[in-house]
Amino acid sequence: MHPTDSTRYAVRAEGLRKRYGKGKSEKPALSGFDLAVPAGTVHGLLGPNGAGKTTAVRILGTLLRADGGHARVGGHDVATEPRLVRRLVGFTGQYAAVDEILSGRQNLEMFGRLFHLGRATARRRAQELLEQFRLTEAADKVVSGYSGGMRRRLDLAASLILAPRVLFLDEPTTGLDPRARNEVWDAVRDLAAAGTTVLLTTQYLDEADQLADRITVISAAPGEGGRTIADDTPEALKNLIGGDQIEVVVAGPRQLAAAARAVARVSGGRPHRDTEALRISAPVADRVEALTEVARVLRDEAVDVVDLGVRRPTLDEVFLRLTGVPTEQPEASQEVSAA
């Protein structure tokens, strides 16, 4: 790795390899995994189930040794300097690790003492984190009365007791309702704004789109599982499968032909027709001009339009194109808000 990588990148991996099992049952988990996470950014790590995301994070966090390749976190080699790496990182898993019978404040003070902070220092750090994650009003309530979003924010706070430079977030909003997810997203943005580097694994593609400065996609295809197949900004990844698409949804099947003619006139090509959804779509170069012209033609043709708009490709479409498998969206659970 280049010497400047330690200052430019908080996390850097090249050619990581890991295999499980022996003999005929041997299975590759990582097959040349590459990753470069600039310091102070949120970086999404995406891939189908079984692609090796968890294995990669465990290696980067010194919880597992790679069979090959190199990785550095905060400038330190994860294989030869694991103790130094552990001082720099924090982990937050899919499920809250806090104790439900304790209050939020007691949980944070307990974690501080477990990390060998003095009593006064643990108390002061707990108060700082309660304020940072907007939990002061509920600080002395037992965690069993917290909402799902509050528990996840408390869990994030607990992982930051020692102010890690790098935070590994594994599926941070699984099972949360939209309001709670937004609360966690705000907390993650605040962390990055304060200088913490966040490596995020998630099955929610909109979450990666909302939070990540860059995204790395891992393949799970036979023979190339655990290999990096794309790394770029969310917008650049969307551009891989085309730019803006104009879409017209009409009121009935008899309107489809007229709508298709209107869209074809603007796009200059043959539009896609979805007869079930009563939708006509086509790529366009100038979104504003296309939208204005199609609206005018549809009005002149007296087409009964249900919906009209220009949209960008989604990360779900990118994921499907790159990996060949659709995303698996975890089901949101119902939560009871704390009083």
Q: What angle do CA 63, 47, 212 make, to 5 degrees?
A: 85
Model pTM score:
0.77
Residue 225, SS3 per DSSP: coil
- What pLDDT does 167 receive? 92
- Residue 24 has a CB neighbour count (10 Å cut-off) of 5
For the stretch 206-218, pLDDT in tens is 899 999 999 999 9
Mean pLDDT taken over the chain: 86
Residues with Cβ within 8 Å of residue 194, at least 6 apart in sequence: none
- Whole-angstrom distance, CA of residue 152 vs CA of residue 10: 24
Find out whether 135 and 153 touch, Cβ atoms under 8 Å: yes
pLDDT tens readout for residues 90-101: 888 766 678 899
Instruction: Work out the widest C-alpha separation in the chain, in whole angstroms.
Output: 76
Question: How remote is the C-alpha of 80 from its chain's centroid?
Answer: 29
Report d(CA 179, CA 177) in Å as an integer. 6
pLDDT value, residue 224: 64
Cα–Cα distances in angstroms (integers) from residue 117 to residues 97, 102, 281, in the given order:
19, 19, 60
pLDDT in tens, 239-251: 877 678 889 999 9
The residues, any chain, with a CB within 8 Å of residue 113's CB and separated by 6 or more, are 119, 122
Which distant-in-sequence residues (6+ apart) come within 8 Å of 186 by Cβ?
Answer: none
Could you give the CA distance from residue 271 to residue 27 in angstroms, rounded to a whole number?
A: 44
pLDDT at 297 over 80: yes
Predicted confidence (pLDDT) at residue 142 exceeds the cutoff of 60: yes
Name the nearest CA neighbour of 232 among 43, 31, 32.
43
Residue type, 255: Q
The pLDDT tens digits of the residues spanning 54-90 come to 899 999 999 999 999 999 999 999 999 999 999 999 8
CA atoms within 13 A on the CB side of 169: 37
CA distance 60 to 176: 27
Which of 190, 181, 121, 107 lies closest to 149, judged by CA? 181
Question: CA 2 to CA 299: how far, in whole Å?
Answer: 60
- Strands 9-20 and 214-219, by their bridges, are unpaired
pLDDT 10s digits, 262-286? 898 888 778 888 888 899 988 888 8
* Beta carbons within 8 Å of 311's beta carbon, 6+ residues apart: 244, 245, 247
For 98-124, the pLDDT digits (tens) are: 889 999 999 999 999 998 999 999 999
Name the strand (E) or helix (H) holding 227.
strand 227-232
Amino acid at position 155, single letter = D
Rounded Cα gap, residues 117 and 159, in angstroms: 14
Query: Quick count: other Cβ atoms within 10 Å of Cβ 297?
Result: 17
